[in-house]
Amino acid sequence: MAARRILVFPSSAELGPVLVSLVTSRAEKAITSRGRFTLGLSGGSLVSMLGKELLALPDLDCSKWLVGFCDERLVPFDDPESTYGLYEGELFSKINIPESGILTIDPSLPVDQCAEDYTRKLKEAFPGEKLPVFDLLLLGMGPDGHTCSLFPDHPLLEETEKIVAPISDSPKPPPQRVTMTFPMVNSARCVAFVSTGGSKAPVLKEVLEGREGPAFPAARVVPTNGELFWLLERPGSGAKL
């Protein structure tokens, strides 16, 4: 179990370039070692941050990238709530990632079938692996301590068999979503939380100091054989770190 690394920045303007440096360094390492780079994305402020910073790189080559989503809302891709739709507009349409390099849900399916379909796509993309192992997962954390679509006190926190699960009662709208589970998240080679904004400070302090144990879902992200980073904007860091 790798040690946790916490990096605190004065603002998101300083955080962004370091995040992208982490992405590109892990991409180079993965492509050299395995011929491709597998990246799991989350929504929120990450979308605009990655769009801005990645597109500023002069020699960005995403032709050997495979991108999936740590969670996704069950809405059409043209809905403003669609994480894929946001990334398509901000990033995917502007880089040289092949269409086959983006794993998306099928939002036309009922939520249970959607999760099964996305599980199948992941397993096909990671043949021979019991748990698909991503090179890097980028996660956010909500003010309630949730990450992906894994919310406090929800039964999905105890899921051990499925790598992807449906959720129909998300306390944060929209209610229907598909999410990676903790076994999947904690199998990654590297996980990086990106947290900005002051509203998360009290919970973030609890998560990082561990006083509440695993009560907050974000505190349960502990990669089994991988690295764990927290990239924090100081106004939201909550504690003197």
Query: pLDDT 10s per residue in the chain (241 long)?
Result: 557 899 999 988 999 999 999 999 999 999 999 999 999 999 999 999 999 999 999 999 999 999 999 999 999 999 999 999 999 999 999 999 999 999 999 999 999 999 999 999 999 999 988 899 999 999 999 999 999 999 999 999 999 999 999 999 999 999 999 999 999 999 999 999 999 877 788 888 888 887 666 679 999 999 999 999 999 987 644 443 3
Rounded distance between C-alpha atoms, residue 22 and residue 16, angstroms: 10
Backbone angle region of 73, left / alpha / beta, with phi > 0 → left and psi within -120 to 50 → alpha: beta
227-233 sheet: strands from edge to edge: 4-9, 227-233, 190-195, 136-139, 37-41, 65-69
Cβ atoms of 182 and 216 within 8 Å: the answer is: no
Q: Do the beta carbons of residue 65 and residue 26 sit within 8 Å?
A: no
Residue 240 has a pLDDT of 38
pLDDT of residue 236: 47
Q: In whole angstroms, what is the distance from residue 38 CA to residue 67 CA? A: 6
- Residue 100's Cα: distance from chain center in Å? 19
pLDDT, position 239: 41
Q: Which of 66, 112, 107 minimizes the C-alpha distance to 83?
A: 107
**Residue 60, SS3 per DSSP:** coil
Domain spanning 4-214+226-236, CATH architecture: 3-Layer(aba) Sandwich (3.40)
> From CA 168, how far away is CA 71, in angstroms rounded?
13
Report which of 119, 16, 76 is spatially closest to residue 88, judged by C-alpha positions.
76
Q: Strand, coil or helix: what is 43?
A: coil
Please tell me the number of Cα atoms within 13 Å of 55 on its side-chain side.
14
Extract the tokens encoding 132.
């698909």
Show Cβ contacts of residue 3 under 8 Å, excluding neighbours closer than 6 positions: 228
Helix (H) or strand (E) holding 208: helix 201-209
Identity (one letter) of the amino acid at 126? F
Cα–Cα nearest to 217, from 236, 233, 204, 199:
204
Q: In sequence order, which residues have a C-beta less than 8 Å from that of residue 213 and are 6 or more positions away?
A: 219
